[in-house]
Structure 1
Amino acid sequence: MSLVKRLSRHPAVQSALGRLAAAYLRLVRRTNRFTVEPAGSDPWLDGLSPFIAGMWHGQHIMVSFAGRPVDRVATIISKNPDGNVNTIALTRMGVRVIRASGARGRAVRDMRAKGGAEGLRAMLRALKNGEIVAFSADVPKISRRADAGILTLSRFSGRPIVPVAVVTSRHIRFGSWDRACLGLPFGRGAVVFGAAIHVPREPDPETFEALRCQVEAEMNRVHDRAYTLVGRPDRVGDNWLGPARPKPSEPGREAGANTPA
């Protein structure tokens, strides 16, 4: 392990980085003019709560922006040490962090699976206790392809999935597999909630796949709408399933590089 990696995992360094990240996120939230759609959605969201807030993985950095003051929000972050900074930052932003392996695909259908079942049980408890659970819907390492995990959580909890997108007009797009975005200050922002999707307890395979496709399509729709509201294109939208590639209008930009937008 490199010296930089060892330093980045030191508890004091991670604590400082987490506090700094939270302070930066507060600055972004205060200095962007956010539009929420649908307008006047509070009664509708109250009627659905507690729900599963479905997000694409690249949105996880700004998940706290979607929460309202009355909401209690929980999310899951892996126990990997690299997740400690995000945990500190989100906790300081008012999000309760569950440290466990995510509930993914076949792992959560087999309740004996270590890790997946642990995360599933923790999120079920959060929903039962009235917390909104923010959960990334992607297949691991495949951006914007909905996984079975979020539907399984809905099945077992009986709670609906509400797709949500949080974007800002000024942002940095990272070259990670999820093409994560970090908002920049002094711009416009949008929070868009999609149509609630209910998953029956025992769906047949055809129904389950149809609902998975519905979640995927609605997640993509709210992202398209959010970027339209801030007047910027979603630069991942034409390349959801593959690595980042330079566009013809960007001849000097290398694939995978961090790209300010």
Structure 2
Amino acid sequence: MKKLLFNYVIPYLLFGVVYLWCMTLRSKNLNEEEENHFKNLTGPYILTLWHGRIFYLFYYLRRHPDYFLLISPSEDGDLLARLARLMGYSVIRGSTYKKAVSAARSLIKVLRRNQRIIIIADGSRGPRCVAQPGSVQLAGITGAPIFPMTFGTKNKVVLNSWDKFVIPLPFTRCTLNFSSPISLPPKSSEQIIEEKRLELENALNRINKASDEG
């Protein structure tokens, strides 16, 4: 019975709650030009965001088809993976701590098929708002550009979790923000990868701040 609830009942209930909750929200885009940039690309790209900013973006991006979402193979990840599939995403399971190699291979194959992926920049465990090198390494291998994105809102609940998870209150406005793409040359050195990782981290923190103030 517990397995039935976790696998089928809870994901559908959560899907309904999140969907109806987000339908009450309004959105404003601080950088529509960059959003149109990646939406109009015919080739592969990587979208990245902080773990604490998943809530509204999870709903917002469902309107763009064919995204592959990297989700941790943990128990919490199981629930998120089921919810993601209900939202219309394709899911690849893996993280820095588990199934890292197989997940990386799957993501590379997806990008080389000219498809798109979404990666949580600070991973499933953090540290919070510290970019892990995974998305930058993938960009270096495949040539796919990275687009940082976020949302902010003034009327919100911030959970007391490691990621300070942000839940916008119903009927409030969410401020979307996107940053310029980050690209890497082929066969980038470890130094370049670290420089681009830091560039990604700074870009995400910058647009986060602007969205929260917007």
**TM class, shorter-length:** 0.7 to 0.9
Which sections of structure 1, spanning at least 5 residues, go unmatched? 1-5, 108-113, 230-261
Name the aligned partner's letter for residue 200 of structure 1.
P
Structure 2 residue aligned with 1:25, among 13, 18, 35?
18
| 2:70 alignment partner in structure 1 | 76
- Map 1:79-90 to 2 at 5 A: 79-90=73-84
| 1:11 alignment partner in structure 2 | 4
Q: Deviations over 1:80-125 (max 9, x none)?
A: 22222211222111222212x22x4xx8xxxxxx721111111122
CA distance in 2, matches of 1:172, 1:50: 34
Name the aligned partner's letter for residue 171 of structure 1.
K
Shift of 1:48: 6.9
CA distance in 2, matches of 1:129, 1:64: 23
| 1:209 alignment partner in structure 2 | 194
Aligned-residue identity in percent = 22
Name the aligned partner's letter for residue 149 of structure 2.
V
Task: Give the greater-gyration-radius structure (CA).
Answer: 1
- Map 1:100-111 to 2 at 5 A: 101-102=94-95, 104=96
SS of the equivalent of 2:53 reads helix
Q: Does structure 2 conserve the Cα–Cα contact (< 8 Å) formed by 1:143 and 1:178?
A: yes
CA distance in 1, matches of 2:25, 2:117: 25
SS of the equivalent of 1:145 reads coil
| 1:221 alignment partner in structure 2 | 206
Structure 2 residue aligned with 1:196, among 158, 165, 181?
181
Shift of 1:79: 2.1
CA distance in 1, matches of 2:111, 2:132: 20
The verdict on how the C-alpha distance between 1:124 and 1:204 changes in structure 2, with shifts beyond 3 A counting, is: closer
CA distance in 1, matches of 2:81, 2:159: 19
- TM-score by structure 1 length? 0.73
Structure (1/2) with the larger helix percentage:
2
CA distance in 2, matches of 1:171, 1:90: 23
Q: Aligned residues, how many?
A: 212
Name the aligned partner's letter for residue 84 of structure 1.
D
Structure 2 residue aligned with 1:123, among 92, 95, 107?
107
| 1:59 alignment partner in structure 2 | 53
Shift of 1:193: 1.0
Name the aligned partner's letter for residue 158 of structure 1.
G
The verdict on how the C-alpha distance between 1:68 and 1:92 changes in structure 2, with shifts beyond 3 A counting, is: closer
The verdict on how the C-alpha distance between 1:14 and 1:62 changes in structure 2, with shifts beyond 3 A counting, is: farther
| 2:118 alignment partner in structure 1 | 134
Structure 2 residue aligned with 1:149, among 134, 142, 147?
134
Name the aligned partner's letter for residue 180 of structure 1.
F
Q: Does structure 2 conserve the Cα–Cα contact (< 8 Å) formed by 1:71 and 1:131?
A: no
CA distance in 1, matches of 2:33, 2:134: 30
The verdict on how the C-alpha distance between 1:200 and 1:77 changes in structure 2, with shifts beyond 3 A counting, is: same
Which sections of structure 2, spanning at least 5 residues, go unmatched? none
Structure scoring higher RCO (CA < 8 A, sep ≥ 6) equals 2
The answer as to 2:37 corresponding to 1:44 is yes
CA distance in 2, matches of 1:211, 1:12: 43
CA distance in 2, matches of 1:91, 1:123: 17
The verdict on how the C-alpha distance between 1:198 and 1:179 changes in structure 2, with shifts beyond 3 A counting, is: same
Shift of 1:68: 6.3
Shift of 1:195: 0.9
| 1:259 alignment partner in structure 2 | none
The verdict on how the C-alpha distance between 1:70 and 1:27 changes in structure 2, with shifts beyond 3 A counting, is: same
SS of the equivalent of 1:147 reads coil
